[in-house]
Amino acid sequence: MTTDYLITIGALIGLFSIPAMLAGYADERRPTKAMAAFILAAAVLATGWILDPARYSVAELPNVVVRVIAHILHS
């Protein structure tokens, strides 16, 4: 279940960093914090996938997020 949390946290950080990067480019400034968050998200996703590569695929990502949310709600 730990790798599920890593995958979910990485995906959420990555999703939230994309609009921040686009806003930085639109304002003609360097989106350094958003890029750092995106790199962190990629590292966390890679860590989760490396720890259990046979369990995860791109198609499995929504199921992983739902499992984590269900586990949090039922705890």
pLDDT at 1 over 80: no
| Domain boundaries, given as residue ranges, for the chain | 2-73
- The continuous run of DSSP H or E covering 64 comes out as helix 61-73
Class of residue 67 by CB neighbours under 10 A (exposed 0-12, middle 13-18, buried 19+): middle
pLDDT tens digits for range 2-39: 899 999 999 999 999 999 999 999 998 999 999 999 99
Task: Report pLDDT for 2.
Answer: 85
Q: How far, in Å, are 12, 41, 42, 75 from residue 15 at the CA level?
A: 5, 9, 11, 25
Q: What are phi and psi of 74, to 5 degrees?
A: -95, 0
Q: Say what the pTM is.
A: 0.84
